[in-house]
Amino acid sequence: MIPTQQIPNPTMPTCKTPRLLEGQKALVTGANSGIGRAAALSLAEAGADVVVNYIGGEEAAADVVKEIESRGSRGIAYRADISDEQQVQAMFAEMCREFGTVDILVNNAGIQKDSPFDQMTLEQWNAVLNVNLTGQFLCAREAVREFKRRGVVPEVSCSAGKIISMSSVHDSIPWAGHVNYATSKGGIMLMYKSIAQEMAPYRIRVNAIAPGAVRTPINTEAWETPAAYEELMQLIPYKRIGEPRDIGQAVVWLASDQSDYLVGTTLYVDGGMMLYPGFATGG
Ligand code: BGC
């Protein structure tokens, strides 16, 4: 195994986002930080107007809106708890009033409440399932209602709407100490695939992105010290941590007509984390 420090420039390339989503309207949940923020900015760079959903961190949400506007798109910050049915419905109603419709939903918001399994409280279990799974259900349902009402507008997109479900490598990799989180991501997989199957005849595309380790506030302890970073690299064949923008770019492509024939598929954006790196030398 090559030591990480011998690999030149272990950072992501910077490339310009093509304006693949000109005129489309997107909603990103949990868009005031981490992967959601990057998704919102990449969508704006690609020409979409974006609703920035958040629950805490109003200032950070306002900052994302400013960044969206500096990219020539419209942005609206909207506070809503995505696990609350009424708040979700009010958010979609407001979006339709302000932007006219919804073309893209990035079902991103997610939390971790980690604990050894036998010490996990029902609150920790429910909190994670409520946001990560029920939240995605509630938002996907409202988006689908709007997609079906409007149908395909060929000048905008070949499909009536796109949902991108933010999953994780832990939809497949079991994760000790994170049973609630891994369960929510496993659940997301069959939820979004079943929605994809049911909605494909309406030209609604539902797909997922499963990030590996990405440099965001959710997993700071996995990368903030050199020792932690070095240990993390044992799990990543590509030998760099993911940057939020790696996921933002994948979101744009999945939301665009360039991926029109992708229906019910998970894109693992993980630097090879799913490749059982332990077997590179063992087995
Ligand atoms: C988790 C991160 C973790 C990554 C890889 C993500 O889904 O939110 O905390 O670093 O998976 O294990």
Query: How many residues comprise the chain?
Result: 283
* pLDDT > 70? residue 4: no
- Residue 218 beta carbon below 6 angstroms from any ligand 1 atom: yes
- Residue 219 beta carbon below 6 angstroms from any ligand 1 atom: yes
pTM, two decimal places: 0.95
Q: Which residues pair with 50 in a beta bridge?
A: 26, 75
Q: What is the pLDDT of residue 18?
A: 82
Distance CA 40, CA 49 (A): 9
Cβ atoms of 52 and 94 within 8 Å: the answer is: no
Q: What is the pLDDT of residue 282?
A: 83
Percent of the chain with pLDDT strictly greater than 70: 95
Cβ atoms of 128 and 111 within 8 Å: the answer is: yes
* pLDDT > 60? residue 2: no
- Residue 212 beta carbon below 6 angstroms from any ligand 1 atom: yes
Quick: pLDDT tens for 119-147: 999 999 999 999 999 999 999 999 999 99
* pLDDT > 70? residue 10: no
* pLDDT > 60? residue 236: yes
Distance CA 120, CA 270 (A): 28
**CA–centroid distance, residue 268 to ligand 1 (Å):** 12
Cβ atoms of 8 and 14 within 8 Å: the answer is: no
218: confidence class by pLDDT, cuts 50, 70, 90:
very high
Nearest CA to ligand 1 atom 4: 213
Q: What is the mean pLDDT of the chain?
A: 95
Residue 283 forms part of a structural domain: no
Residue 10 forms part of a structural domain: no
Cβ atoms of 247 and 214 within 8 Å: the answer is: yes
- Residue 169 beta carbon below 6 angstroms from any ligand 1 atom: yes
Q: What is the pLDDT of residue 41?
A: 98
Q: What is the pLDDT of residue 151?
A: 98
- 85: which 2 tokens? 């049915």
Q: Which residues pair with 188 in a beta bridge?
A: none
* pLDDT > 90? residue 250: yes
Quick: pLDDT tens for 148-179: 999 999 999 999 999 999 999 999 999 999 99
3-class SS at 263? coil
Residue carrying structure tokens 């609350």 = 84
8: confidence class by pLDDT, cuts 50, 70, 90:
low
Residue 15 forms part of a structural domain: no
- Residue 213 beta carbon below 6 angstroms from any ligand 1 atom: yes
**CA–centroid distance, residue 138 to ligand 1 (Å):** 23
7: confidence class by pLDDT, cuts 50, 70, 90:
low
DSSP string, 108-132: ---------GGG--HHHHHHHHIII
Atom of ligand 1 nearest to the CA of 270: 5
**CA–centroid distance, residue 234 to ligand 1 (Å):** 14
* Domain housing 257: 21-271
- Residue 168 beta carbon below 6 angstroms from any ligand 1 atom: yes
Atom of ligand 1 nearest to the CA of 219: 9
Residue 213 forms part of a structural domain: yes
Residue 74 to residues 67, 94, 138, 157, 265, Cα–Cα distance (Å): 10, 14, 24, 19, 30
215: confidence class by pLDDT, cuts 50, 70, 90:
very high
Phi, psi of 90 (to 5 degrees): -65, -35
Atom of ligand 1 nearest to the CA of 273: 5
- 175: which 2 tokens? 């994760």
Residue 5 forms part of a structural domain: no
Give the domain CATH number at 92. Answer: 3.40.50.720
Number of domains in the chain: 1
Alpha helices in 177-237 (DSSP H): 179-199, 226-233
* pLDDT > 80? residue 9: no
Residue 281 forms part of a structural domain: no
- Residue 164 beta carbon below 6 angstroms from any ligand 1 atom: no
Quick: pLDDT tens for 53-95: 999 999 999 999 999 999 999 999 999 999 999 999 999 999 9
* pLDDT > 90? residue 14: no
Residue 118 forms part of a structural domain: yes
Mutate to test the pocket of ligand 1, among 112, 170, 215 (most ligand atoms within 8 A of CB): 170
* pLDDT > 70? residue 184: yes
Told to judge if 181 belongs to the known catalytic residues of this protein, a careful annotator would answer yes
Beta strands 75-79 and 161-166: pairing type? unpaired
Q: What is the pLDDT of residue 3?
A: 55
Percent of the chain with pLDDT strictly greater than 90: 93
Nearest CA to ligand 1 atom 3: 213
- Residue 240 beta carbon below 6 angstroms from any ligand 1 atom: no
* pLDDT > 80? residue 103: yes
Distance CA 49, CA 169 (A): 29
* Average pLDDT of the residues in 257-269: 98
Nearest CA to ligand 1 atom 9: 219
**Residue in 78, 181, 192, 268 annotated catalytic:** 181
Residue 20 to residues 40, 47, 93, 241, Cα–Cα distance (Å): 14, 7, 26, 27
